[in-house]
Structure 1
Amino acid sequence: MAELAGMRALVVEDEGVVALLSEGMLEDLGCEVGVSVASLAKALTADDRFDFAVLDVNLDGQLVFPVAEILRKREVPFVFSTGYGRIGVPETFKDCQVLNKPFTLEEMERKLRLAMKR
């Protein structure tokens, strides 16, 4: 947990309860939720004062992949969060970490650590 402590997160999640749970887990890991948004439009214009991101794949019918492309170009680590599992993530992101909903604190920590090692 120590290596995540103090890091700022972008959370992109359209389900309020899931967003709150994710934010709580991140805080338990010692992270700060710098930005939390629920739509693709807001995610695309979110400020860039964060160290990593947790991205819900499906945002009310819109896919988050344009945000992932931006983060990849900026070399910002991210993980996808989805109920679809790896099958819901295109081949272009096959090297990215996927958190399968529902997930535990331990799973989130493990996937974030792996994403940051890339």
Structure 2
Amino acid sequence: MLLVEDESVIAMMVEDFLTDLGVTVIGPATSINAALELISTDQIDAAVLDLNIRGELSERVADALRLRRIPMVCATGYGEGAAEFARGAPIIDKPYSKDKLATALQSALHSAGGVDE
């Protein structure tokens, strides 16, 4: 799973959450270009995407994920209305818990057809 997050403390916390959930983490990508590079070169099942990376909206990353049909969870400190480009993806508000992340990931994967109930 690709982790795109520019705040190191949050990235470490989310990486721990994902590891606890049994997920192999790719990244964290701390810039838009780093995320795009990982998307183009690595096998990615899903992504956790911060909507704002170093002051830049991560719309190009969301577009690249959608182009490759990679489900994503969007994380933001700005509320659900923060970015129109996150449409259709589960959005979780920072700070969030491991349980909220797990629920959002399950929703994203289910919507993409990757999880059976």
Letter of the 1:69 partner, please give it. Answer: D
> Given the alignment, which residue of 3, 28, 43 partners 1:11?
3
> Given the alignment, which residue of 14, 30, 38 partners 1:22?
14
Letter of the 1:116 partner, please give it. Answer: L
Task: In structure 1, list runs of 5 or more residues that go unmatched.
Answer: 1-8
Query: CA RMSD for the aligned pairs?
Result: 1.0
Task: Give 4+ residue runs of structure 1 displaced > 4 Å after superposition.
Answer: none
Contact conserved, 1:56 with 1:81, CA < 8 A, in 2? yes
When you count strand as a share of all residues, which structure comes out higher? 1
Contact conserved, 1:44 with 1:67, CA < 8 A, in 2? yes
Partner of 2:114: none
Write out aligned runs for 1:1-118 (5 A): 9-46=1-38, 47-90=41-84, 92-118=85-111
Partner of 2:115: none
Letter of the 2:10 partner, please give it. Answer: V
TM-score, structure 2 as length reference: 0.88
Contact conserved, 1:35 with 1:50, CA < 8 A, in 2? no
Per the alignment, in what secondary structure is the counterpart of residue 72 of structure 1? helix
Number of aligned pairs? 109
